[in-house]
Each structure stands twice: as structure tokens, then as C-alpha cells.
């Protein structure tokens, strides 16, 4: 009996040394979620709202029935993919903040399938290929800048987010614009759309694409030589280099994988979210904006693990779907601003354990960034003094 208990206990305690509280990662996440819910409840109570009725409305709006579940999973789909973009680079020891821009490029590339006709199925696959190639291509430039010039990937990916946003806006307004409705792009043809999974909802088969991508990424990172090299380079670049691992290659691989998932996230939005099946450039892309940045929070809550990201995305999708119900439930509904504050408190509490674990990496990134800025600023300051 004791021999059987040993392996079981070791499995339960696996990863405990990497947590803040010393608890199992799953238990620590549950504790953080409970703290976030209590903080949100306290904030609502202080402003005169009934937190228990509000949370009940949140649960009903997110998981109260088939329609609610469909709405939750539909919103979780692109978040899974953008969270994978951030997490795979974190595993390689870098911070890819560029999921937003890579997603914009993927969405614009996917919309290009509206320019020609193809048989159903093939049309959909071609759109996905366009999206993942565009996302990967947009991600490779910051990786090359880091490898060849030592440019911080944090700065370059943030800058490329803005370049992608305005480039996508130009494409949506002047190139892929719908002739009959100038505020949006061309509509994705029926042959290139993801079929709807639950009739009357916006939940499509794109959800299974996101799950498949997470499982593939899990297999690559934990069950292949390439994945081992990526994780080893992230844990200790010096030791990995002495072990024969080429860190530059792991950088390229992690950015390419992240760009692929971000590009697919853009495709799932425009090819799998009814009723428009398009991007609204006239409204500055409300259907796409912030999905990349939200994916970073999802990755933190999911401990930068593909399986944890799936669970965290369903939670985030539930917060988004149920948060709308909180605004209209009961005689004293919670206004949108308070809903956002409560959601922020929950997300922040659940992200703190992983943020603390990443503090050393964040600190080293900051030190390298400051050193780079000082090195490039020194000649200018000398010229000015002269």
C-alpha cells in the first residue's frame, strides 16, 4: 500500500516547488480565484450592489444552459490561440507581446479568400493557411531583430502591434472593402466559413481548431526534441548553450509557433463568428481589438501551459459572456464599469502567482532593456554636451 502511495503522492506534489504558496498549482489557482471573487464581492458591496445576486447572474449568463455555454466557448476560442502565442515564447525565455498585431495580419489574410471561389472545405483550409502564414511572417521580423541586432522583443512586438493595426485598417478601408458597405471588409463566403455547432448561437467548429492547436503545441513542447530545446533555453540559456542547444534557433521556432497560433486566432474570428463574417474597419475592428492582450492574461492564469490555457480561456469566456448579464439582472443591476472592475480583480488575483514566478525573467529583461537604452543614448548625450 505504501509503495502505491509513493508515486501518487509524488504526482500530487509535482510542481509544488515552483508555486508561491507551496500548494499544488491547481489548488493555488483555485485559492487565487476565491480571493479575486471575494475582492470583487467587497467592491460591489461597498458601492451598494448585491454581490451574491450579481455572481449568480454571472454564473447563469456564462454556464446556465446550452446557449450560455455556446456563447462562453465561442469567446474562449480566439483567446486559447492568442494565449498560446504568449506562452510558447515565455517557455523559451522571451516575452512576445505581439499576438495582437499577428492576429490582425491573420484576419486580413483570411479575408483574402473572399476574392476567389473554391469548393467548400478546400476554401476553408486555404483561408486558414493564409492566416497562419501571415501571422508567422509578421512574427519573424521581431525574432530576426532580436537575434541579429539585440533588439528587445518587448519593444519590437509592441511597435509591430501598432504597425499591424494601421496596416490592417488601410487594407480594410482601401483594398478589401465591401463595395456595398464601406464600414466593413468583404464578407467571407459560405464555402470558407466554419460551420455553426449550436444553431442560433455564434459557437462554431473553430473551437475544435483551437483545442487541436493547444494539444499539438503541448505535444511539441513536452514530447519532442525541439520542444525540449525550447523549454531548456527558456529555463537556463547558458546551460542550454553549453549543452549544444542553439538558442537562436529556439527563438525563431518559438516566434514562428506563436505567430501561427495568433494568425489562426484572427481567422477564427472572421471565418467563424456570425453574423458578419467580416472585419469592421470603420469601427476600428471591435471584433478583434484586445483579443491578443487578453490572451496574455489567459496565459498567466493558465500557468503558460497549453492544457491550463484551455481551462483559463473557458473561464475568461464565461466572464465575458456572464458579465453582460450582470448589467441587466435584478432590480439593481451592476453597471458596465463595475463589471469591468470586478472582472479585473478576479483576473489580477488569478494572474499574480504566475507573475511572481516570472519576476526573475521580467527583471532580467528590464535590466537588458535599460542597458540597451543607456548604450544607445550615450553617444547622443556626449554630442549634446560637446
Is residue 227's pLDDT more than 80?
yes
**118 phi, psi to nearest 5 deg:** -150, 165
**Could you read off the pLDDT of 29-75 as tens digits, one per residue?**
888 888 988 999 999 999 988 899 889 999 999 999 999 999 999 99
Per-residue confidence (pLDDT) for residue 166, from 0 to 100: 95
- pLDDT average, residue stretch 310-315: 94
Q: What are phi and psi of 182, to 5 degrees?
A: -70, -15
Task: Dump pLDDT digits (tens) for 160-179.
Answer: 999 999 999 999 999 999 99
94's CB contacts (< 8 A; 6+ apart) are 146, 153, 234, 251, 254, 255
Residue 191: Cβ-neighbour burial (10 angstroms; 0-12, 13-18, 19+): middle
Confidence of residue 106 (pLDDT cuts 50, 70, 90): very high
Please tell me whether residue 182 adopts helix, strand or coil conformation: strand
pLDDT score at 271: 97
Percent of the chain with pLDDT over 70: 87
pLDDT surpasses 70 at 15: no
Which residues neighbour 11 within 8 Å (Cβ) at sequence distance 6 or greater? none
330 touches 53 (CB < 8 A) = yes
Question: In whole angstroms, what is the distance from residue 296 CA to residue 354 CA?
Answer: 11
Give the residue with greater pLDDT, 12 vs 154: 154
Q: What is the spatial distance between Cα 108 and Cα 192, in angstroms, rounded to a whole number?
A: 14
Of the candidates 88, 108, 74, the one whose C-alpha atom is nearest the C-alpha of residue 263 is: 108
The mean pLDDT of 9-34, rounded to a whole number, is: 62
- Mapped onto helix, strand or coil, the DSSP state of residue 118 is coil
The stretch 206-219 carries a mean pLDDT of 97
Sequence length of the chain is 386
Give yes or no for residue 349 having a pLDDT over 70.
Answer: yes
- Distances from the Cα of 82 to the Cαs of 97, 123, 246, 306, 350, in angstroms? 10, 23, 26, 11, 18
Judged against a pLDDT cut of 80, whether residue 119 lies above it is answered with yes
Residue 205: phi and psi, rounded to 5, are -70, -5
Domains of the chain: 51-355 (1.10.3470)
What is the mean predicted confidence (pLDDT) over 365-382? 64
pLDDT for the residue 17: 43
378 band by pLDDT with thresholds 50, 70 and 90: low
Q: Which residues contact 95 (CB under 8 A, 6 or more apart)?
A: 86, 89, 153, 154, 157, 361, 362, 365
pLDDT at res. 8:
40
Closest CA to 262 of 137, 94, 119: 137
Question: What is the reported pLDDT for 10?
Answer: 39
pLDDT 10s digits, 120-159: 999 999 999 999 999 999 999 999 999 998 888 999 999 9
Reported as a pLDDT band with limits 50, 70 and 90, residue 27 is: confident
User: What average pLDDT does the chain have?
Assistant: 87
Supply the pLDDT for residue 23.
Answer: 66
Distance CA 280, CA 288 (A): 9
Predicted pLDDT at 240: 87
> In this predicted structure, what is the pLDDT of residue 362?
67
Amino acid at each position: 500500500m505504501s509503495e502505491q502511495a509513493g508515486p501518487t503522492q509524488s504526482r500530487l506534489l509535482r510542481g509544488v516547488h515552483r508555486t508561491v504558496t507551496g500548494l499544488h498549482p491547481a489548488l493555488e489557482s483555485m485559492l487565487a480565484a476565491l480571493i479575486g471573487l471575494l475582492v470583487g464581492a467587497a467592491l460591489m458591496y461597498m458601492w451598494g450592489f448585491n454581490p451574491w445576486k450579481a455572481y449568480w447572474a454571472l454564473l447563469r449568463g456564462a454556464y446556465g444552459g446550452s446557449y450560455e455555454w455556446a456563447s462562453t466557448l465561442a469567446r474562449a476560442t480566439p483567446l486559447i490561440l492568442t494565449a498560446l502565442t504568449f506562452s510558447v515564447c515565455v517557455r523559451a525565455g522571451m516575452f512576445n507581446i505581439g499576438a495582437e498585431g499577428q492576429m490582425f495580419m491573420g484576419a486580413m489574410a483570411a479575408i483574402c479568400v473572399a476574392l476567389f471561389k473554391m469548393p467548400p472545405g478546400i476554401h476553408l483550409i486555404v483561408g486558414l493557411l493564409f492566416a497562419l502564414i501571415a501571422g508567422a511572417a509578421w512574427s519573424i521580423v521581431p525574432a530576426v531583430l532580436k537575434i541579429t541586432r539585440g533588439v528587445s522583443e518587448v519593444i519590437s512586438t509592441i511597435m509591430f502591434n501598432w504597425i499591424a493595426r494601421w496596416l490592417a485598417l488601410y487594407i480594410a478601408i482601401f483594398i478589401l472593402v465591401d463595395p456595398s458597405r464601406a464600414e466593413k471588409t468583404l464578407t467571407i463566403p459560405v464555402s470558407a466559413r466554419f460551420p455553426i455547432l449550436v444553431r442560433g448561437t455564434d459557437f462554431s467548429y473553430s473551437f475544435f481548431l483551437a483545442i487541436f492547436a493547444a494539444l499539438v503545441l503541448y505535444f511539441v513542447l513536452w514530447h519532442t526534441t525541439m520542444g525540449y530545446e525550447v523549454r531548456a533555453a527558456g529555463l537556463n540559456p547558458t546551460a542550454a548553450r553549453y549543452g549544444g542547444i542553439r538558442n537562436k534557433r529556439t527563438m525563431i521556432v518559438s516566434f514562428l509557433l506563436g505567430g501561427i497560433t495568433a494568425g489562426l486566432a484572427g481567422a477564427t474570428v472572421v471565418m467563424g463568428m456570425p453574423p458578419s463574417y467580416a472585419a469592421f474597419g470603420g469601427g476600428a475592428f471591435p471584433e478583434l481589438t484586445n483579443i491578443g492582450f487578453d490572451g496574455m492574461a489567459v496565459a498567466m492564469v493558465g500557468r503558460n501551459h497549453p492544457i491550463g490555457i484551455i481551462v483559463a480561456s473557458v473561464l475568461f469566456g464565461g466572464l465575458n459572456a456572464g458579465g453582460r448579464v450582470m448589467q441587466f439582472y435584478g432590480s439593481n443591476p451592476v453597471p458596465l464599469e463595475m463589471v469591468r472592475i470586478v472582472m479585473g480583480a478576479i483576473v489580477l488575483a488569478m494572474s499574480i502567482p504566475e507573475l511572481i514566478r516570472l519576476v526573475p525573467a521580467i527583471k532580467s529583461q528590464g535590466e537588458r532593456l535599460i542597458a540597451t537604452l543607456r548604450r544607445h543614448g550615450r553617444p547622443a548625450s556626449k554630442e549634446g554636451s560637446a
